[in-house]
Each structure stands twice: as structure tokens, then as C-alpha cells.
Amino acid sequence: MPVPAVAPALVAEVSEVPAGKLGASMRPGCPVPAERLRLIRMNHWGFDGKVHRGEMVVHQDAVEPLLYVFGRALEARFPIRRMRVAADYGGDDLASMADDNTSAFNCRPVTGDPGRLSRHAWGLAVDVNPVENPYVDRRGTVHPPAGRAYLRRHPARPGMITEDGVPARAFRHVGWHWGGEWWSSPDYQHFSADGG
């Protein structure tokens, strides 16, 4: 009788954030000081069927909820394309999304609405696999453009967030909200602690 494969376990290190891991993602006037942010280094399942090591900067209050969520995602072998800090992209959210990067803190405005700060500016929001889970802004623009191929949400493909999938259930379990449920401007990649 075949032995079932053991699900990988989350291995994470949490530390204060070195300045180089903030870079251009930390700007003057940010609503959260650097000392309230944390760097999480953790393993995640990749699209290549292997375990990879990623990094994410988050608010200190988000550490425990996110370790739970990404632990469940890893156990379920939910694939994540890459997990790099926004500083690796010079704080450029469009470049991060185009690279299908799963990330959290970035002191920036809402994509498509430069007059409002995103919840990412507090480190209390996460975008997961932006290409497979695009955002459609108020003008109907798809972010990132390659995400247009994933606007059709059924049948689900690898890396896509679905209402009953492991990531969405895990985020609900910790009280976070999914932007995929926004009826006017769905943001399938976005989860936040307060629904913003």
C-alpha cells in the first residue's frame, strides 16, 4: 500500500525589519513607523511543486494571523509564484504585481485611486498571486494586465483564490476580509484585516 506524502510544515522566522528590506516601500508620512513592522521569512509551496523560502513585511499585529494562513496554504500545497518584499521592486506596486509577487507592506496609495492610502501602507493587507487573482479598478482597468486571462474565475486554476479554497477559508478564520467579494471592483488578490 502506498504511503501518503507528508504535507510540508511551515518554518518561519520573525524579526525586526532591516532598513534594506524596507527601502523605497517606506516613505515620509507613512502611517506606521518601521519599529511596528516585522519581517517574516517563511517557506511556501511553489508552482514548480517544490518548497521555496519567501519574505514578507507586515504589521506586528498581523504576524500571528498570517503565520496561520500561510501555514494552512503550505499544508494544502497551494502554490505561490513568489514572495518578496516590496523594496525588491523599488516600492513599485505595478512591477510587483506584474511579477506575480505575493506581498504585504508597501506605503502606497490604493491602486487606481492616488488620493487614498492603501491598507498595505499599514502592513495590514496581503496580495496573493496578483496575476492569477487580478484587481479590476473603478475604471475597469485590470491590474496587472496579464491578470485579464484570469478574470474568468471558473473553473479554478492553480494559484487562484476561490471562496471555498484553503487561503480564503484561512483568512476568514483569522477575521480578515477578501477583496474578491467586492461586487463593484473585485480585488481577487487582496486580503485585509479590516476589509479596506
pLDDT in tens, 66-101: 999 999 999 999 999 999 999 999 999 999 999 999
Phi, psi of 168 (to 5 degrees): -65, -40
Q: What is the pLDDT of residue 184?
A: 80
* CA-only gyration radius of the chain, Å: 16
β-strand partners of 125: 192
At residue 52, does pLDDT exceed 70? yes
At residue 118, does pLDDT exceed 80? yes
Instruction: Pick the closest to residue 97 from 76, 69, 127, 140 (CA basis).
Output: 127
Distance from C-alpha of 78 to C-alpha of 62, rounded to nearest angstrom:
20
Banded pLDDT at 115 (limits 50, 70, 90): confident
Q: What is the pLDDT of residue 110?
A: 82
Banded pLDDT at 1 (limits 50, 70, 90): low
Banded pLDDT at 114 (limits 50, 70, 90): confident
CB contact at 8 A, 190 and 135: yes
Q: What is the pLDDT of residue 112?
A: 72
Average pLDDT of the chain, as a whole number: 94
At residue 2, does pLDDT exceed 70? no
pTM above 0.85, yes or no: yes
At residue 4, does pLDDT exceed 70? no
CB contact at 8 A, 10 and 67: yes
Three cell numbers, residue 130: 496578483
At residue 111, does pLDDT exceed 80? no
CB contact at 8 A, 148 and 142: yes
Distance from C-alpha of 162 to C-alpha of 188, rounded to nearest angstrom:
8
Instruction: Pick the closest to residue 121 from 110, 106, 111 (CA basis).
Output: 106
